[in-house]
Structure 1
Amino acid sequence: MGLATAEVLVADGARVALVGRDTDRAQAAVERLGQGRATALVGDVGRPGEAERLLAEAVEALGELAGVAVTTGTSTAAHASLDAASDQVWADAVDDVLMGTVRTVRAAVPHLVAGGGGTVVTTAAYGMRAYHPDRLPYVTLKSGVAAFTKTVARAYGGSGVRANCVCPGAIETASLAALRGTLARERGVPPAGLLEQIMVEEWHMDVALRRPGTPGEVGDLFAFLLSPRAGYLTGAVINIDGGTQF
């Protein structure tokens, strides 16, 4: 979703700094976007001190900071029940799901305020509105991301900083696309339509559009929120889940 957002922003004429944990993937993304429009930075905002370093490097590369989008916070371990989630699972999930966002925004806001304003977009999940006992740390911390974002919007609106939170549903990123292929091979059926069927019958996701979303659809929303076109929109928590929750 982050790369899809960058593609839309670059197409709109923006310059972007992409942050990832994998050097090769980050560089491949920059080559895909164009060396003159994108810069690759490598780091992990789940670790103390990394967000500040990365934001400083981004400002140095770009010359200024107009906005920041935080798409980290997936934490597979956080999809656990109360009895299965150890203290270490909670601690790891806090660093990845919540503190990765907090640290990034905390490092970005001074740059945005100094520049006369800017935008923040964070990523929660549709699951924060559909509580699931087997995803307890994830749901709890994504709810925290939304509350954090709304509070940042309130605190820094007077300085021209807007902050909004996006809640994606099932989005067919590379991992979900790979799952479609794996399940098709395991079950000996064609991949077309399989994931859509599983979403409804096995995952019990009552999706109005009866399909997963695409990264590009989420990228369009992120890019809109980061742009001046969303100039009077702040403090919003926006579902993009195909009608999973109304």
Structure 2
Amino acid sequence: MGRMNGKVALITGAGRGQGRAHAIRLAEEGADIIALDCPAQGSIPYQLATEADLDETVKRVEALDRRIIAIHGDVRTQSDLDGAVQRGMAELGQIDTVVANAGAWTVGPFWEIPEEEWKDVLDIVVHGVVRTIRAVTPHMIERGTGSMILISSGNGREGGVNYAHYITAKHGVLGFMKAVALELGPHGIRCNAILPGVVRTPILDWQGGWDLMAGGPGLGTKESMEIGGKAYALLKDVGMLPPSAISEGVLWLASDESRYVTGLEMIIDGGHLTMPGLNMANIAAMTAEQQQ
């Protein structure tokens, strides 16, 4: 305990899923939190985080006796992020780490995805990361220190079918991370990225996500998501990862334990990117268990 004592973390997409898990884990180790979420819906077909979701994050962090500022904001708007930084500095005094976590996706063949969905996914997933980092950079340069953590994806390293806009954006996050690490290293600021595998969050838990796991429109059920997660991981008995698995990486990169690390692509995916394909042994074991 106490690996983040005296530190303040700004987290985007903190209302639920990975963002909430990151806020809780950093608070458990002593950090105060600036939590930004509750964006406009736009063209995203499933429900984005709500005010009630963000309130729950606040409740969970406050239960750990840490301070938290909840900000309704959208990473598609630079002024929302600039305002979050200004308020965080005014009320908490500093920002030591930033976790650019907010994300969204839709599904469909790349030539059929409506232009508005392309724009929204890229605007949230990659441009939102850029805006977040731009907002906090002057403050970190002034202090001569800081840890920037960009949430990319295993899809930042590989292709995939029926979500080309998301894959494009996640590749972009890695390129941006490398550029930022080079530009800000001389200022004492570290910038790293985490590449999660399939994580059990609301971004996957809707019909489009189920169908993607099942292999076609209208074929998916909630169970399809669990089966697909089993095929994705290399490790035995590992399927969809809990958000807390990614939070452990966030904690290490935010803490002084990683003070000599920058420009890193940290992969947390149950071994997926090591495999040449899918892990059918996990699927077979799951099927046999269900038949007993």
The alpha carbon displacement at 1:245 in A equals 0.3
Report SS of the residue matched to 2:163.
helix
**Structure 2 match to 1:59:** 89
Q: Is the 1:80–1:137 Cα contact (8 Å) retained in structure 2? A: no
Q: Per the alignment, do residues 58 and 75 of structure 1 end up closer, same or farther by CA in structure 2, a change over 3 Å counting?
A: farther
Unmatched 5+ residue regions in structure 2? Answer: 1-17, 39-49, 212-218, 275-292
* Higher-RCO chain (CA-CA 8 Å, sequence separation at least 6): 1
Equivalent residue in structure 2 for 1:211, among 227, 236, 239: 239
Equivalent residue in structure 2 for 1:227, among 251, 255, 271: 255
Q: Is the 1:47–1:95 Cα contact (8 Å) retained in structure 2? A: no
- 1:87 and 2:115 are equivalent in the alignment: yes
Matched residues in 2 for 1:206 and 1:230: separation? 26
The alpha carbon displacement at 1:155 in A equals 0.4
Q: From the two aligned structures, give the one with the greater helix fraction.
A: 1
Q: Per the alignment, do residues 13 and 98 of structure 1 end up closer, same or farther by CA in structure 2, a change over 3 Å counting?
A: same
Q: Is the 2:27–2:66 Cα contact (8 Å) retained in structure 1? A: no
Q: Is the 2:232–2:239 Cα contact (8 Å) retained in structure 1? A: no
Matched residues in 1 for 2:67 and 2:102: separation? 22
Matched residues in 2 for 1:19 and 1:120: separation? 16
Q: Within 5 Å, which residues of 2 pair with 1:95-134?
A: 95-134=123-162
Q: Per the alignment, do residues 93 and 196 of structure 1 end up closer, same or farther by CA in structure 2, a change over 3 Å counting?
A: closer
The size of the alignment, in residue pairs, is 234
Matched residues in 2 for 1:90 and 1:197: separation? 28
- Map Cα deviations across residues 152-201 of structure 1 (whole Å, 9 max, x no partner): 0110001011001111111112455688xx99xxx9x996xx7543335x
Equivalent residue in structure 2 for 1:173, among 170, 191, 201: 201
Matched residues in 2 for 1:118 and 1:110: separation? 11
Report SS of the residue matched to 1:134.
coil
Report SS of the residue matched to 1:172.
coil
**Structure 2 match to 1:156:** 184
Q: Percent identity?
A: 26
Matched residues in 2 for 1:64 and 1:206: separation? 39
> Which amino acid in structure 1 is aligned with residue 93 of structure 2?
G
**Structure 1 match to 2:271:** 243
Task: Give the root-mean-square deviation of aligned CA atoms.
Answer: 2.6
